[in-house]
Amino acid sequence: MKQPPIGVILAQIGTPAAPDAKEVRPYLRRFLSDRRIIDYPPLLWQPLLRGIVLRVRPRRSARLYEQIWLPEGSPLLHHSRTQQAGLQHLLGSRYQVELGLAYSEPDMAAAMNRLEAAGATRIIVVPLFPQYSSTTTASVYDAASFAALGRRSARGPVSKRFVPALRFVDAYYRAPGYIAALKAHLLRCLEGLEEEPDHIVLSFHGIPRRYAQTGDPYPGQCEETCRLLAEAMDWREDQWSLTYQSRFGREEWLGPSTEEVLKGLHGRGIRRPLIFSPGLVTDCLETLHELAVEGREHFAAGGGNAGQLHAAPCLNAGAEWLDFLARLVAVNAQGWLED
């Protein structure tokens, strides 16, 4: 009898369905209501979220999304679908690869339902976040676990009698295949430039410093990724910087800030910087606008020539990256496949 496929869920945070406030608002409401993201007491946070944040931020975010929206739709969804198709091709028919988003469609429950309809009873969840953070990795762990149980939250009613076996892929921030994929990708980007950059800014999505101080290993893993990548690229210590972007609210976040570092580069004699996000593997608002558009504005604000800052794309569906993901899935499927 033919073995049912091993299910694979590529897990991402999510994206609005359209670049307008009407679609951005429900996405932000789901995202910012998750206590993995904002851990303030709901009685304090929810009135602020619904009374202030969701009245102002959706319009602003929609204007930014409009500037980076693709003919195919959301950049994150488009590139994630390409990653899904590429990984499915590499893994073959013994696996079924689905995309599951934590805060938007296609959501984790839909991915789980499609796999179970195909007969999958064993499912591997692959967070598309190389560095673990409670705000990303743990969020998709929650979403996948509740979806497997047939619930929307831990308090939801039981609605399924059979729960599939789940395996969650561990953080791969120092995996040789991941570092090799980053190196190959950056070398291709550098080959396409007329002049070699005189500094590399490696920007990661930030988290509140308090999260790290209370147990989130994220900054240490970002630092290790940078160390290994710099070693692989043969960069001197003064050739690159690690920074954190996407600050939100008044609480202290990890630093140094990407914005402040970019503003200070010209004063250090740097004229042709390249900025790249090793921790965001799929192009999205944070890379296409925050780094590529706002990043140039910050560099110019410090006296630099905006046209001289180059923003490298994410790994997206690069061959080395997809090869690494396929090997990662195969390792995590050990013992589940029959010869």
Element spanning 283, H or E: none
Looking at residue 275, what is its pLDDT?
A: 98
Looking at residue 157, what is its pLDDT?
A: 67
CA-angle at 236, arms to 174 and 239, nearest 5°: 95
pLDDT digits (tens, 9 = 90+) for 277-321: 999 999 999 999 999 999 999 999 999 999 999 999 999 999 999
> What is the pLDDT averaged over residues 263-289?
98
- List the alpha helices (DSSP H) in 158-240: 176-191, 209-213, 218-233
Whole-number mean pLDDT of the chain?
Answer: 96
pTM for the structure as a whole: 0.95
Looking at residue 176, what is its pLDDT?
A: 98
3-class SS letters over 80-129? HHHHHHHHHHHHCCCEEEEEEECCCCCEHHHHHHHHHHCCCCEEEEEECC
> What is the pLDDT averaged over residues 59-85?
98
Q: Which residue has the higher pLDDT, 152 or 209?
A: 209
- pLDDT band at 152; cut points 50, 70, 90: low
Looking at residue 150, what is its pLDDT?
A: 87
Residue 34 has pLDDT above 70, yes or no: yes
Domain boundaries, the chain: 6-172+320-332, 176-311
Residue 154 has pLDDT above 70, yes or no: no
Looking at residue 78, what is its pLDDT?
A: 98
Rounded-to-integer distance, Cα 242 and Cα 202, Å: 5
- 102 backbone dihedrals φ, ψ, rounded to 5°: -75, -30
Check whether the bond before 127 is cis (ω within 30° of 0).
no
Cα dihedral: 148, 330, 129, 138 (round 10): 30
Look up residue 195 and give its two tokens: 């002049």
Residue 151 has pLDDT above 80, yes or no: no
Q: Are 164 and 116 in contact (CB under 8 A)?
A: yes
Rounded-to-integer distance, Cα 25 and Cα 32, Å: 10
Per CATH, which fold does 176-311 belong to? Rossmann fold (3.40.50)
Please, which residues have CB within 8 angstroms of residue 245's CB and are 6 or more apart in sequence? 203, 204, 205, 206, 257, 258, 259, 277, 286, 290, 291
Residue among 122, 125, 144, 162 at smallest CA distance from 4: 122
Q: Do 6-172+320-332 and 176-311 have matching folds?
A: yes
Per CATH, which fold does 6-172+320-332 belong to? Rossmann fold (3.40.50)
Looking at residue 19, what is its pLDDT?
A: 98
